């Protein structure tokens, strides 16, 4: 039990705490713009377009795939040779991936507040699922592939990455 006590809950939480207040407010503003554009300006998608500008989904996904591959190579070769450049590359890409995912998740969480304000709770929940997915991408990027140094939320983040696409597909279909 003492091993769990020394592990942090999350490694991406610090970045999210820094980005959350500002970008959640930006997301809420986008949600209000979406409502106003859709309701009063012939179903314009202003807020949705602005929201999509803040979510580099494919970049986040590819960065995580790169990190898994690089971390795997590093784990495999670290006892055989010194790989300082590979370690520096992994640290830099992980830092940037966590930053991008943190901003994206914050904007989506803010955007989810707008439908909740107008009583569209189903839509708010779908946006919350997407925000949790983006936050999970950040947590996976921040954690090492194997061994010590993993956070307590690394495994739940992996489960979220695997299950949310199937859950959303079942909910939509």
User: Which regions in the chain score pLDDT beneath 70?
Assistant: 1-5, 147, 168, 171-173
**Res 1: pLDDT:** 45
Burial classification of residue 112, based on how many CB atoms lie within 10 Å of its CB (0-12 exposed, 13-18 middle, 19 or more buried): buried
pLDDT in tens, 122-172: 999 989 989 999 999 999 999 887 767 788 888 899 899 888 878 767 766
- Please tell me the predicted confidence (pLDDT) of residue 148: 77
Contact 32, 109 (CB under 8 A): no
Q: What share of the chain is helix, strand, coil (3-state, %, to 5)?
A: 80, 0, 20
Give me the pLDDT at residue 13, please.
83
């Amino acid at each position: 039990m003492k091993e769990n006590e020394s592990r942090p809950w999350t490694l991406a939480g610090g970045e999210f705490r820094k980005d959350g207040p500002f970008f959640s407010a930006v997301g809420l503003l986008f949600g209000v713009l979406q409502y106003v554009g859709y309701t009063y300006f012939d179903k314009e998608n202003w807020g949705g377009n602005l929201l999509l500008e803040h979510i580099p989904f494919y970049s986040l996904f590819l960065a995580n795939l790169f990190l898994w591959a690089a971390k795997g190579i590093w784990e495999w070769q670290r006892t055989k040779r010194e790989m300082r450049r590979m370690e520096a590359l992994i640290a830099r890409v992980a830092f940037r991936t966590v930053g991008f995912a943190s901003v994206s998740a914050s904007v989506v969480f803010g955007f989810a507040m707008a439908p909740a304000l107008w009583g569209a709770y189903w839509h708010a929940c779908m946006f919350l699922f997407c925000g949790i997915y983006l936050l999970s991408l950040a947590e996976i990027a921040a954690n090492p592939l194997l061994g010590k140094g993993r956070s307590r939320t690394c495994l739940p983040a992996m489960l979220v990455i695997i299950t949310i696409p199937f859950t959303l597909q079942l909910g939509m279909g």
